[in-house]
Every structure is written in structure tokens, then in C-alpha cells.
Amino acid sequence: MIEVIARGGPGRIVKWSRGETRLETPNILFFSSEAHPAPTFAQLIIRMNENGRREITDPSNRRLIEFPAQDHIKPSLSWLSMTGDGFSLAFEDTTIVRAAPNQITEYCKEIENSSTEIVSLEGAFELRRSARMLVESIVSLREAIGPSKLIYLPGIMDPSNLAILVYLGVDLFDSSLLIYSSQIGRLCLPEGSLPADQVSWLQLGDTCEPILKFNLESAWRELQLVKLMMKQGRLREFVELRANANPWAVAALRILDLEFYEYQEKYTPVVGQRILCNSKESLYRPDVRRYRRRILERYKPPSNKRVLLLLPCSAKKPYSFSRTHRIFENIITSIENWRVVHQVIVTSPLGLVPRELELFYPAAHYDVPVTGHWDLEETSIVVEMIRSLAAHNYVAIVCHLGEGMNFVSENIDCLNTSVGSPISKESLENLRKELTRICDGLPHVSKEEDRLCEMKSIARFQFGEGGEILLDGCEVLGKYPYLKIMEGDKQVAILTPERGMLSLTLRGAEKIIPIGRNWVEIEDFVLKGNLFVAGIKDADKSLRIGDEVVVLKSGSLKAVGIASMCGEEMVRCKRGEAVKIRHLTPDQ
């Protein structure tokens, strides 16, 4: 049986059980023979059995899986892409597939509903020559077979590409390339391959055994590190680090980011821990790119905001907790009608962060190296987002960004108030004077109206178009960053920095039912605790890990909670927790 227990984008840790054997993937199938026995730390062993078939056993020699025999010609994938003559062959609980990327969907369409547990993509070694074929093959295969099957890529893994392969969604590898590299005197490291005879600290004898031992241990250590990074929510940044070991891995990551965003995004949580955006690839990591897209597609500024104020970011997150932004806040709130000012932070790689969204992931969680230099890609992202935001109901745009960000005032019609440092005495006085002049002629906005408008903007960003319905007939109480949405004496939702988004009560869940999002429909049973996939009839495909979930039965509200997997997995997975329940209705 297969159950996903942790995720890092498309990469996952799976609990796999066969009879009495229970282990986790991703894992390495270690080849074992008289010449090269499997290492003592091996959890899975692969060998040829008496029937001439590959079989997988555990260390106790219990047979877990046997692959079908291949008695026919094995054409190259490049040849198959031209002729269309791929194939898939099933045997017991395994299926082998030999097909070009554009053929995989056709040859694998029956696998998801079969008894197959492992799907082996034969000829995978050829994919080392083409990053595009690698990405297209794995994405096509996973989309075709669903999340409840393990993907095995034989003959392709070494420590330098293990991280990117796991991130793509591969569950199983083997040691064949490690053995081959040892035979030709190459050491395999996460940083790449090196000639063993130039390494003084490795004691070489007359055989390749010391090299083989090193290579197997190197791959095993890298696997453990990849799994640790995934459990800590840092797999993506680790992949960006490791990908620089070779151009092929960088190409694979870029193709995945630029052409298969949807494949990554659906498995990427909307909540998380601190993330490091240290490389060019961080601009297009799925959580960062999703945030920018939602700003462009979902976000609407609070209706009471008439003056757009662009501010620089700070190292401390959330921004309003930083010394620099407390200085800005003191200046802004000294103006009589300051609640008409919309504070928006300009930053890379997120582009823009409206003040009311600063608690959301990844706005409150990212860190980026600050040099004062912006490249063309970063500046084009920021300018596009400001232009989109500026199309709303603003009477003026004030730019208070400081040195190094002149590209904004060069591309946007705005009033520049910063002279040198944005927190210099002269800059702050300019800001105070200009905001006072602009705001004095605008209608006064009360604290209550300001909070309500900002919370509507937050609800729309979180739940999509129509999310503002959550605030109908409500008021906002509390002291920032702990704010409650109240409908009379009933709490509807709460905003906290710990969760970084709105957490719903049963009344809040009831209010957003009409927008038709974030829902799960369950079978006819009494829900007593957390919801598992076995009890799910259908789910909103736009649900992401960490989203608020409205649990329905025959259209009636039964519970509210937090998604443990994406909506597609809730429907396609055979096992696993789907929703952590926060509140149950009394009839449950």
C-alpha cells in the first residue's frame, strides 16, 4: 500500500508497505551480485532471479516485486519519438513503460485503476542527454498514473542529480550508474563526478571496491539529506543549490519552472516556513510565482485606499515589525487622514506586497540577498505589477523607495519623495509633506471602515473572487496582527501571524459556501475526527495544502478544517489524511 506522508512540491515521501515489509520512498534499489553485493545499509535490493526477471527484495530476502521479462528489442527513446512504437507491459504489481514523452499518456492510461504499484520508465539513462525529455517524461507519467503509484527510473541516478529527480516526482532509483562509474574510476559526489586517481584521501587498491563503496555511501547520504530537507520544507531551495552542479540539472529545473508551473503548483502548500531565495531560479519557484499571479489575478486594493505609497522592503518579516517600517508608520500615521494611504512594499522575488497581506506565505517568510542591484527580469516583474495595481482607484502614486530603485519612477508616473536613503531626515519630511498635501482633499476614512475594507481585500486574495462575502454584516475587532471578524457576537474568522491567513469558524465556512471554492464533498457517514480520502466523494481541484476547507455532505456544512493534500490528490489517492478538522457541526 502507498500513502504520501510528506511533500516538497511534486517530490514526496511515501510510506510503502508490502506484506510485512514497511519502508519509505524515495529510496535506492541496490543491485546485488556475487561480484558486487548490496551494502549493509540497503533497504531495497534488486537482482535477477531464476526466471531471468528483475526482482526487488528486502534485506531479509523477502520478494516484494517482480518485473515482467523483456524478450523483445529495446529501441531508443529518440527512435520511439519518431516511430510512435512504444509499449507498456504489466506483470503482477509492476508495469514497465518504454515510450517517448509524447506517447506516455497513451500507453499508461489504464495503469491508475490497475493493481500496479511500481511503474518503471525503461531506457531512462537516455534522458541524461535531454533535460527536456526528462521533464516531459516524468510529468506525463505522473499525470497519467496518479499519486498512488511509485515511479522508478532505472540507470539514471547519481548523487549530483538525485535531488532534482526527487523534486520532479521520482520515487525509486537504482545503483547501476554508481557501479558503472566505479568501474571506470569515477567518484560520484553531489558536486559532480571526479577521477578517483586524483583524490589523495581515498585509498585505492587493485580493484574498484573502494570507489564503489564511496559512491554507494555518497548516494545514500545524499538521499537522507534530500528527505530531511523535504521534511523541513526546504527541498526546493536545496534543489536550486544542487542543480548548479551541472547544466543538465539547471536546464531541467528551468524547463519545469517555465513550462510546467501547474504541475508543481498544485502540490505546493500555501503555508510554510522561512524560505531562502538565493538564486535566479527562485524567481520562478511555484510558491513565489503563485503569489505574484494571485496579486495580478485575484487581488483588489481596499476600496478606501486612494493614494498608492510604494515602500522598500526590510530584512525583518513581517515588514511592520522592522525598525525601518516603524519609522515609516510613524510618519504616515501623523497625517490626519492617513487611512486613505495604501502602503505597498516593493521587493524581489515577490514583486509587490500590500501591507494588509504581509502576514501571508511567502511574504512573511522569504529571505533574499540584498545588493541594491536589480536585473532586467526583476525590474520587468515589478513594473508590470505596479502598472496593474495602479489601474485601480488611486488619485496619486508616491514613490519612497530610495537609491537603486530608480527604475520604478522611470517607468511609472509617480511623485518621488526619497532623497538618498528613504529614512533620511530630508526623505521623511518630504514624505510627510506630500502625503499631507494629497490626503487633505480626500474624504475622511474611519478606523472601522479601514479595517473592514482591508479585511475584504484579504478575504478576496485568500478565497478568490467573491471571498469578500465573508465580511457581509461583520465588523473587525482586535489589535493587529491578531484580528477577529465578528458577526454580532459570533466569530466568523481570525487572522493571526502564526497561520498567516484567515482561519474560519463554522459560521465563516457557512458564509463562503456560495462562492463555490475550497469545498470537499464527503460520503454518507458521520465524521468524528480528521477526514481521510476514503470518505471523500469529490473535492475542489483548486484546493492546496494549507488551505481552509469547507466540508459538505449533500451540500450541507458538516465541518471546517485545513487541507493536508491538494484537491486532486483527495480524489485520486487511495490512502491518507485529506483534511485536519478544526470544527464539526453539532450533528456530527
Residue 72's pLDDT is what? 58
Confidence grade of residue 587 (pLDDT, cut at 50, 70, 90): confident
Compare 51 and 331 and report the one with higher pLDDT: 331
Share of the chain above pLDDT 70, in %: 97
Beta strand residue intervals within 362-466, DSSP E = 366-367, 396-399, 415-416
What are 193-204's pLDDT values in tens digits?
Answer: 999 888 877 777
> What pLDDT does 208 receive?
82
Mean pLDDT of all residues in the chain? 93
Residue 91, pLDDT score? 85
Q: Which residues contact 380 (CB under 8 A, 6 or more apart)?
A: none
How confident is the model over 545-570, as a mean pLDDT?
A: 97
pLDDT bracket for residue 88 (50, 70, 90): confident
The predicted-structure confidence for 5-41, as pLDDT tens digits, reads as follows: 999 999 999 999 988 899 999 999 999 988 889 999 9
pLDDT greater than 60 at residue 475? yes
For the purposes of burial, counting CB atoms within 10 Å of the CB of 339, is it exposed (0-12), middle (13-18) or buried (19 or more)?
Answer: buried
Same CATH topology for 2-261 and 466-584: the answer is no
Q: Output the pTM of the full model.
A: 0.94
Cα(144)–Cα(51) distance, rounded to whole angstroms? 30
pLDDT at 34: 84
Asked if residues 326 and 355 have their Cβ atoms less than 8 Å apart, the reply is: no
If one compares 88 and 576, the residue with the highest pLDDT of the two is 576
Helix (H) / strand (E) element for 91: namely strand 87-91
Confidence grade of residue 83 (pLDDT, cut at 50, 70, 90): low
Task: Give the start-to-end residue ranges of the domains of the chain.
Answer: 2-261, 299-439, 466-584
HEC string of 227-246?
A: HHHHHCCCHHHHHHHHHCCC
Query: What confidence tens digit (pLDDT) does each residue in 367-418 have?
Result: 999 888 899 999 999 999 999 999 998 999 999 998 888 899 899 999 999 9
CATH tag, 466-584: 2.30.130.10
Q: Report the SS3 class of residue 161.
A: coil
Among all chains, which residue has been given the C-alpha cell 533574499?
368
- Rounded CA gap, 252 and 272, in Å? 25
CATH class of the region 299-439: alpha beta
User: Mean pLDDT throughout 52-71?
Assistant: 86
pLDDT above 90 (res 87) = no
The CATH code belonging to domain 2-261 is: 3.20.20.105
pLDDT band at 79 (very low <50, low <70, confident <90, very high): low
349-360, pLDDT tens digit by residue? 999 999 999 999
Angstrom distance (rounded) from CA 43 to CA 24: 9
What's the mean pLDDT in 94-103? 89
